[in-house]
Amino acid sequence: MSHTFSRRSALRLVGGAVAVAAATTAPAFVPGAHAAPGTAAGPRVEALIRRLTLDEKISLLHGAADPDSLGQAGFVPGVPRLGIPSLRLADGPAGVRVTRHATALPAPVLLASAFDPGLAHRYGRVIGHEGRALGQDILLSPMVNLIRTPYAGRNFETFSEDPLLAADLVAAEIRGIQGEGLIATVKHFALNNQEKDRQSVDVVVDEQTLHEVELRGFEAAVDAGTGAVMGAYNKVDGIYACENRALLTGVLRDQWGFDGWVMTDWFAAHSTVAAITAGLDMEMPDGTYFGAALRSAVRNGTVSEAYVDRAVRRILRVMDRFGLLDGSAPARPARDAKAGAAVALEVAKAGATLLRNEHHALPLTGAAARDIAVVGPTGMLPFVSGGGSAHVVPDHADSPLDAIRARAGRGARVTYSLGEDLFGKAVPASALSPALTTEAQQVPAGQAWSYDGTLTVAEPDEWTLVIHYSGERPKVLLDGQDLFPVAPGYGEYFSGGLVSAAPDGLAVRRATLNLSKGAHTLKITANGGSAGQVFRLRRSTGATRAQDVAEAVRAARAAHSVVLFAYEDATEGLDRTTIALPGHQEHLIEAVSAANPRTTVVLNTSSSTSMPWLRRTAAVLQMYYPGQQGAAATTAVLFGDCDPGGRLTQSFAVDDDHHPVAGDPRRYPGVDGTEEYSEGIHAGYRWYDAEGVRPLFPFGHGLSYTSFAYDDVRVRQDRRGLRVEFTVRNTGRRDGVEVAQVYVGPSPRLELDQAVRVLGGYQRLVLRAGERRRVTVRVSARTLSSWDTKKHGWVLGTGRRTVWVGASSRDLRLRTSAEVRA
Ligand code: BGC
């Protein structure tokens, strides 16, 4: 499928039924030696471009090793001779990722759950301030790719399945980051909606879907003034995103007027001439294509130096805007860890999403607050963040168990049981012949070590063998099978956030296999390396698991209430293969909640989860990856010190067979390297509505500890779109948070595919008990428009349109309609 992208189409609310300025096809840059792209920047930048040698210009267009690295992801050397400073680029998006401590903020999906652009702005400010304090110039954040598939490994790193919400939040966060003098990089442009085959998958999407769904957030980022854009790994309509002219020039420059620069994702460049002429400006993190190869291409006339100048100009222009060229950038501030922690706590509380609360099980009060069984590995170990490039070294992170104990206070009884063992128990000495120290095997520096023996299994059973190690991973062969092979390429980097390290910091890998009764050959080789090595070999089996569950059940029975922490360990680089909780957690929840129906499940998961156990539980609190203040925030919500302020920014499916990408491998994860977004514009809740499928929990859902009534809706049209007014009243006895949502139905006049309803706007409200508030929500002309693929522009959906007001996409309390006129 091919696209013709057009110049920005001005939407008009006057004129004919189709109220869009005629779209014109943009003159595209023609790759080749003699094209002369680019427009002049300010005099300072133009003067620099004149003075830079070709080699110096090229050095600005790709990453290099940082002689004084602070552990950040990327570095671009400057040109000291001309006062052009070097640039340090750090991930992103849940804080500043360097080797030093930083505020580990809640995952962006938790931020998004607050439906509060003001909070996103403050979140951005923390990152901007800390990034500058930690020696960085550019933050590789925010990520705004939509949540399209529940399996995508980075759903925690992004905001929502809804384009409007994502757009509002990305814009606010960018303003926050850049307001502190740090350059933001919106990523990954575009359609990096999954990790599976992300380096190669070819995403085929029709033009209407592309514009209405994925691109809206990127456009908002450009409108908010993002300094940089990161190109995605994947292909779009057959062409790698980092050399895709239609995207990099057609959409970004010609339609949206972007004047910053485009960098690749890490190692996402695939060409020199094709990429630079298509609109790529910087290769990261090295110069495979934009180093010597670019110099030769210019020297031998394959590409005009004007393209190099264009890229340099785009980079310098942003640097100039941030005061990096004339020394006017403010001095680097000191870190303010306290302020960071306060925002981290506020966001985690504001995004905490209460999915279920039977018979007011929460908040915990009276006996329920004084006699608690805490269950689950992440009840003890704080689950701070997901894995991959978003992982931040937190200042500190408390254990939820400690926070619950402290809050329950003296005289309370708070027990703990593991329930699900992530790190294994010692292999019994009797199982190993000859004898082997498996708990703390030391291998001295410079020495090789090996073991050759047998592991004897008493009964056939499912075993999970777990290795904990420092240094190089020991090689363990069981019956000749390499249990913990080292993943090729980037693979090792993406090994999970929480569960890939033991509490004492040793790396952890697992292998699960069915073992028959009898002796199995076991060979282990290890290498002390330069620092010496220590490793442990552990296991869990059906028998140890049964003991863990039995202990949790005993504790649950003995307590008045249970708080069970369940987890899912997502990471960049990997998609999950099911939306069910990993390991044996479903069984644990069933068993514990059968033993004590006053069980609250706290979910530290990246995205949606199926919950076959739901009906047995009293309450379910979705905390995602709550950052370094997660324990305090979770405890505050559990005990009712604050109202759970979050709402779902994605639909939760009942199971693996009922969601927008279920059942069609061409839709996800792709067949023969190609993936079709054949759900079209019906992403997320739009698909559930279009197909009449019941989600487990709908988009926008989330409970408060109080209740709200909606009343008296009125709508009128003004120049900017629709103005929807209604009244919300807190009808309960507690102060509380409501996220009032406005949805809009299709236009009867457009012959384009339209959703059953789309989110038109929302308002987060904090209402005192009994308080009533008149609320105004604006629905923008953009939201009332569709992308017309014939005109390559937006058309306003005129005619009578239904307007709903409610508390989720499926809890619509008020309904009216409005005539939308051109
Ligand atoms: C990720 C980017 C990240 C970059 C640098 C890549 O693997 O996709 O999001 O910014 O690494 O760490």
Report residue 723 CA to chain centroid gap. 32
Assign 103 to helix, strand or coil: coil
**pLDDT given at position 400:** 98
What is the chain's length? 822
Would you state the pLDDT for residue 719? 87
Measured in Å, residue 75 CA sits from the centre of ligand 1 at 13
Residue 10 has pLDDT above 70, yes or no: no
Span 31-91+182-323 CATH architecture:
Alpha-Beta Barrel (3.20)
Residue 4 pLDDT level (bands cut at 50, 70, 90): very low
Pocket test for ligand 1, best of 98, 197, 266 (most atoms within 8 A of CB): 266
Does the pLDDT value for residue 32 go beyond 50?
A: no
Ligand 1 centre distance from Cα of residue 397 (Å): 24
141 lines ligand 1 (CB under 6 A): no
Give the model's pLDDT for residue 497: 63
At residue 496, does pLDDT exceed 90? no
pLDDT of 246 over the 90 cut: yes
Report pLDDT for 488: 75
**Residue pLDDT, tens place only, 635-684:** 999 999 999 999 999 999 999 999 999 999 999 999 999 999 999 999 99
pLDDT digit string, tens, across residues 770-801: 999 999 999 999 999 999 999 999 999 999 99
CA–centroid distance, residue 264 to ligand 1 (Å): 9
195 close to ligand 1 (CB < 6 Angstrom): no
92 lines ligand 1 (CB under 6 A): yes
Atom 8 of ligand 1, residue of closest alpha carbon = 265
**pLDDT value of position 28:** 27
Mean pLDDT of 213-229: 98
Report the atom number in ligand 1 closest to the C-alpha of 187.
9
- Ligand 1 site, residue 391, Cβ cutoff 6 A: no
Mean pLDDT of the chain: 93
Question: How many CB atoms sit inside 10 A of residue 380's CB?
Answer: 17
The answer to whether the beta carbons of residues 497 and 411 sit under 8 Å apart is no
The half-sphere exposure of 120 on its side-chain side, counting CA atoms within 13 A, is 29
**Closest listed residue to residue 207, CA positions, set 369, 14, 389, 25:** 25
pLDDT value for 499: 76
Q: Is 212 helix (H, G, I), strand (E, B) or coil?
A: helix
Instruction: Check pLDDT > 60 for residue 43.
Output: yes
pLDDT of the residue at 503: 86
Determine the pLDDT at residue 74: 98
CA distance 759 to 115: 12
The mean pLDDT value for 331-347 works out to: 98
Q: Residue whose CA is closest, atom 3 of ligand 1?
A: 389
Nearest-atom index, ligand 1, CA of 157? 9
pLDDT band at 495 (very low <50, low <70, confident <90, very high): low
- What pLDDT sits at residue 11? 31
Atom of ligand 1 nearest to the CA of 285: 5
Q: pLDDT by residue (tens digit) across 735-764?
A: 999 999 999 999 999 999 999 999 999 999
Assess contact for 104 and 627: CB atoms under 8 A.
yes
- Calculate how far, in angstroms, residue 796's C-alpha sits from the geometric centre of ligand 1: 37
Tokens of 152: 């995508």
pLDDT of residue 773: 98
Q: What is the pLDDT of residue 225?
A: 98
Residue 5 has a pLDDT of 33
Q: Does 387 score more than 70 pLDDT?
A: yes
Q: What percent of the chain has pLDDT over 70?
A: 94
490 CA: nearest ligand 1 atom: 7
Q: How far apart are CA 626 and CA 602, in angstroms?
A: 11
Residue 25: pLDDT band with limits 50, 70, 90: very low
Instruction: Tell me the mean pLDDT in the region 10-19.
Output: 28
Could you tell me the distance, in angstroms and rounded to a whole number, from the CA of residue 628 to the centre of ligand 1?
22
- The CATH code of the domain at 338-422+544-683 is 3.40.50.1700
- Average pLDDT of span 177-194: 98
> Band of the pLDDT at 17, cuts 50, 70, 90?
very low
CA-nearest residue for atom 7, ligand 1, is 266
State the pTM of this model: 0.94
Which residue carries 């993190």 as its tokens?
A: 285
Q: What is the mean pLDDT of residues 799-806?
A: 98
* Protein residue with least CA distance to atom 11, ligand 1: 266
Closest CA to 699 of 257, 220, 160, 223: 160
* Over residues 611-635, mean pLDDT: 98
Ligand 1 pocket, residue 187 CB under 6 Å: yes
523: left (phi over 0), alpha (psi -120 to 50) or beta: beta
Largest CA distance in the chain: 88
Going from the Cα of 58 to the center of ligand 1, the distance in angstroms, rounded, reads 22
> 9 falls in which pLDDT band (50, 70, 90)?
very low
**Range in 80-89, 110-119, 440-449, 552-561 the model is least confident about:** 440-449
| Domain chopping of the chain, boundaries | 31-91+182-323, 338-422+544-683, 425-539, 706-821
- Report which ligand 1 atom has the smallest distance to the Cα of 192: 8
Q: Compute the distance from residue 638 Cα to the ligand 1 centre, in Å.
A: 35
User: How crowded is residue 530: how many other Cβ atoms within 10 Å of its Cβ?
Assistant: 8
Match domain 425-539 to its CATH number in 2.60.120.380, 3.30.1130.10, 3.10.20.600, 3.30.450.40. 2.60.120.380
Among 685, 540, 563, 689, CA closest to 621: 563
Check: CB of residue 373 under 8 Å from CB of residue 559. yes
- Predicted confidence band of residue 39 (pLDDT cuts 50, 70, 90): low
Query: What are the tens digits of pLDDT across the range 70-109?
Result: 999 999 999 999 999 999 999 999 999 999 999 999 999 9
Give distance in angstroms: CA of 571 to centre of ligand 1.
12
Crossing angle between the packed helical segments 337-351 and 630-638, to the nearest 10 degrees? 40
CATH of 706-821, one of 3.30.379.10, 3.30.930.10, 3.40.50.2000, 2.60.40.10: 2.60.40.10
Calculate how far, in angstroms, residue 187's C-alpha sits from the geometric centre of ligand 1: 9
* d(CA 341, ligand 1 centre) in Å: 25
206 within 8 A of 789, measured Cβ to Cβ: yes
Q: What number is the average pLDDT over the span 480-488? A: 90
| CB contact set of 426 (below 8 Å; sequence gap of 6+) | 438, 439, 536, 538
Atom of ligand 1 nearest to the CA of 188: 9
Does the pLDDT value for residue 14 go beyond 50? Answer: no
